[in-house]
């Protein structure tokens, strides 16, 4: 029921170091005040630290981290006959990535002390181990969807 046209999707350039669109997108999420080179330095350093700890390639580490942090289902509010229901719905891949990026950065920013590159690297390592703020958020979302499974039949209605 939206009005007008949907805004066209903008294409972004792959990041200069690893030639990965996903990393470029993540850098854009981290960036503040248009300082892209600062954001890139932070992400690259964090990936190097995490890669050294796991003895894998930085791009592999990043892909594994995002895949692990990505939610499979989420709840969305749906109004049916005057009542609002939390309806579990599968997450589309684009939205899954977006949520993963958002959760990772929120968890890394909320960590105490140290530089952002160290906090981000620590968050990456925690995700690979299945612990940390990001994984807690993912588990909460999945638990919420599981608890509201009874309303799943509302998802099919349009």
Domains and CATH numbers, the chain: 21-78+86-156 (1.10.455.10)
**Using one digit for the tens of pLDDT, what is the confidence trace for 87-107?**
999 999 899 999 999 999 999
* pLDDT in the model for residue 154: 84
Length of the chain: 158
Residue 72, classed as helix, strand or coil, is coil
End-to-end CA distance of the chain: 11
Would you place residue 113 in the very low, low, confident or very high pLDDT band (cuts 50, 70, 90)? confident
Distance in angstroms (rounded) separating the CA atoms of residues 114 and 59: 24
Q: How far is CA 143 from CA 10, 71, 133, 151, in A?
A: 33, 11, 15, 14
Separation between Cα atoms, residue 14 and residue 20, nearest integer Å: 5
Confidence at 151, pLDDT banded by 50, 70, 90: confident
Q: What is the pTM of this model?
A: 0.90
């Amino acid at each position: 029921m939206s009005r007008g046209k949907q805004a066209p999707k903008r294409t972004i350039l792959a990041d200069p170091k690893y030639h990965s669109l996903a990393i470029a997108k993540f850098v854009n999420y981290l960036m503040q005040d248009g300082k892209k080179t600062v954001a890139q330095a932070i992400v690259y350093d964090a990936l190097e630290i995490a890669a050294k700890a796991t003895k894998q390639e930085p791009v592999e580490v990043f892909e594994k981290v995002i895949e692990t942090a990505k939610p499979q289902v989420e709840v969305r509010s749906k109004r049916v006959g005057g009542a609002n229901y939390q309806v579990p719905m599968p997450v589309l891949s684009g939205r899954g990535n977006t949520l993963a990026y958002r959760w990772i950065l929120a968890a890394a920013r909320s960590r105490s002390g140290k530089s952002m590159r160290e906090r981000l690297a620590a968050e990456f390592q925690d995700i690979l181990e299945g612990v940390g703020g990001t994984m807690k958020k993912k588990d909460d979302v999945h638990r919420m969807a599981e608890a509201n499974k009874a309303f799943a039949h509302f998802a099919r209605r349009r």
